[in-house]
Amino acid sequence: MKLAVFGANGPTGRLLTQLALDEHHDVVAFTRHPDAFPIEHQHLEVAAGDVHDAAAVTSAVDGADAVLSTLGVPFAKTPITVYSDGATNIIAGMHAAGIKRLVCVSSSAVAPHPEPLGGFIFEKIMQPYVVNKLGKTLYDDMKRMEAMVSASDLSWTIVRPSGLFEAPSVSAYEVAIDHIGHRFTSRIDLADCVLRQALGDTYVRSTIAVATTSAKPSMLKLIWQEGIRKKA
């Protein structure tokens, strides 16, 4: 299968690209910084471009069997449009190329649920502050992306991870429609989940949650690393 990956040079995108190549798929890795892309493979094409550039996006998806988006940016006070602009151009490019399968990464913070084991501080202070203040412009744009994708006629799946952290290998992660009562997702589990969705049709036209249940990282550390310090 030929897969076009957007956000390929981010930490999740790199893992996804490598997993797909390890399973002998052809991958087009779309990135603004092709010279910095760390993976080389005979079945890999690194496509230079910006997701805001409709022509570059259309060129990258041409000939793909499925399109995967792991686009991500840090929290910012200013308006963020990378998710919604990316969705606009990816959907248009897929229509032009006649491609139907789309899997895109969003966040559980787009539609937060009370966590049964979250405690007062997490539920009443930390989560509202991150969603409504610190990450408001980012999550607002994710919501716009989700609305565009779910309103399209594509065979889409939206994947919502929770607090992202690094792990060495894929675990026995859980997947469920809409929400899971766990607060953490390893990047390698997220990457594997995205790849499984591209290769299957169990959750077509569904929004799913993915969670790693075997680890409990520090939430404060994750907020710093994933939302503020570096790109998702």
Name the residue with tokens 């744009």. 141
More confident residue, 79 or 116: 79
Closest CA to 27 of 2, 57, 61, 58: 2
Domain that holds residue 203: 2-229
212 vs 118, residue with greater confidence = 212
* Res 182: pLDDT: 84
**Residue 129 pLDDT class (50, 70, 90 cuts):** very low
Question: Residue 29 and residue 113: Cα distance in Å, rounded?
Answer: 34
Residue 231 has what pLDDT? 45
Question: Do 8 and 29 form a contact (C-beta atoms < 8 A)?
Answer: yes
199, 175, 206, 166: which is closest to 68 by C-alpha?
A: 199
Residue 232 clears pLDDT 50, i.e. is over it: no
What CATH number is associated with residue 89? 3.40.50.720
Cβ atoms 30, 4 nearer than 8 A: yes
pLDDT in tens, 143-171: 999 999 999 999 999 999 998 999 999 99
Instruction: Report the number of distinct structural domains present in the chain.
Output: 1
Mean pLDDT confidence for 180-188: 90
